[in-house]
Structure 1
Amino acid sequence: MTDRLRHLVAIPLFVLAMPLAAQDMSAFKTGPVFDDFGPHAPVAGAAAVPEATELRHSFDVSEAAKNGKANRYIESAARFINMHAAAGVEAEDIAVAVVVHGDASMDLLRQSAWEAKGQSGVNGSHALVRDLLDVGVRVILCGQSAAAHGITPDDLIPGIEMALSAMTAHALLQQAGYSVNPF
């Protein structure tokens, strides 16, 4: 196949695939709990969340934030809270924990530790983590990952808990009735 023929075939396929990749995010809004994080959209026809529902949910986060932005996997906790509060679940009936390990451990550093560890710019996850802690979300760092990254408790944003390991944190959270986010 000639280069010209390859291009003639590839261009229409690319154009046809473009609408599949496009997403309409216009319906996604933040709030009612977090104004700066956790966008979610109303879903027409979705079953109502049963009255008196209690949600205990944990998020497993190992991938670091990208390009100085807030960690999108940590932000899933804010989206979970906003989405369910908007759906009528009472704040006292939503318990969330974020278990952080691996490279995402760096997203839990206070700014001075961020810089001391050679990270450039600002920690884009700092405000998000602070907001989560302020509403009672448990943010738990894997002690094994902390040791591997040379992170001490003094390096962390105040309020972050340290566990022996992420596995330990998840086991204890499950014993306390938390489900683990499957994705």
Structure 2
Amino acid sequence: MKYNRFPIWICALFSLLALSQEKKAGPIIENYGAVFPVKNPDFKTNINEEFKVVFDVAIGPDSPEELNLRIDTAARFLNMHAQNGIPLSQLKAAMIIHGSATTNIMNNEAHEKRFGVPNPNAELLQELMDNGVEIILCGQSSKSRNVPKESLIPGEKIALSAMTALIQLQNDGYRLMKL
């Protein structure tokens, strides 16, 4: 009988631990960007700093029906810092899109015309832009992958190249996150 109770106790403990480690989205991007809470980290976050990041997104998912989790990283960045006391006004983010991720930022109409399904990233991209994230497409990828400006979600921008945009943003104090 002792042996039958021991596994139940272990299961209950692991269940409680799992619940305490549940990911949570929001408060900035409500439906995306879920993160784990980290209680009392040893390396403290300076909540008075401005956090400026440029995400380099060159890889898209295998299927046009899948969310690009690299794009979701920007939502995680915003939510994680907001959950830990950093106001949105101190969070500056840009996302440079190129390579196989190029078609991931198309508007629903263009995406559906090309792939037969609406863009699974469209809602996330709109929420990111609504919260100040710049979405910048490499002009070279735009041309090589046949994704003209008209195919983009309003508010997305095209740069001369990903290289150019990355250099300019880094010159403006943004820190590079290569995804």
Give the TM-score normalised by the residue count of structure 2: 0.84
Q: State the match for 2:89 in structure 1.
A: 92
Could you list the runs of 4 or more consecutive aligned residues of structure 1 that deviate by over 2 angstroms after TM superposition? 23-26
Would you say the 8 A contact 1:57–1:95 is kept in 2? Answer: yes
Letter in 2 for 1:70: L
Aligned sequence identity (%): 34
Unmatched 5+ stretches in structure 1 = 1-22
Would you say the 8 A contact 1:70–1:126 is kept in 2? Answer: no
Q: State the match for 2:38 in structure 1.
A: 43
Q: State the match for 1:72 in structure 2.
A: 69
Would you say the 8 A contact 1:49–1:88 is kept in 2? Answer: no
For each residue in 1:76-115, what CA deviation from the matched residue of structure 2 results, as whole angstroms up to 9, or x when unmatched?
Answer: 0000110001111111000000100011110111112113
SS at match of 2:101: helix
> Could you say if the C-alpha distance between residues 124 and 50 of structure 1 is closer, same or farther in structure 2, counting changes exceeding 3 Å?
same
Structure-1 separation of matches of 2:144 and 2:31: 32
Give the TM-score normalised by the residue count of structure 1: 0.82
Would you say the 8 A contact 1:70–1:128 is kept in 2? Answer: no
SS at match of 1:57: strand
Structure-2 separation of matches of 1:107 and 1:81: 20
Letter in 1 for 2:119: N
How far apart are 1:69 and its partner, in Å?
A: 2.6
Which residue of 19, 28, 31 corresponds with 2:23? 28
> Could you say if the C-alpha distance between residues 24 and 146 of structure 1 is closer, same or farther in structure 2, counting changes exceeding 3 Å?
farther
How far apart are 1:24 and its partner, in Å?
A: 8.4
SS at match of 1:181: strand
Unmatched 5+ stretches in structure 2 = 1-17
Letter in 2 for 1:30: A
> Could you say if the C-alpha distance between residues 153 and 139 of structure 1 is closer, same or farther in structure 2, counting changes exceeding 3 Å?
same
| Number of matched pairs | 160
> Could you say if the C-alpha distance between residues 114 and 101 of structure 1 is closer, same or farther in structure 2, counting changes exceeding 3 Å?
same
SS at match of 2:25: coil
Letter in 2 for 1:28: K
> Could you say if the C-alpha distance between residues 25 and 106 of structure 1 is closer, same or farther in structure 2, counting changes exceeding 3 Å?
farther
Backbone CA RMSD of aligned residues: 1.8
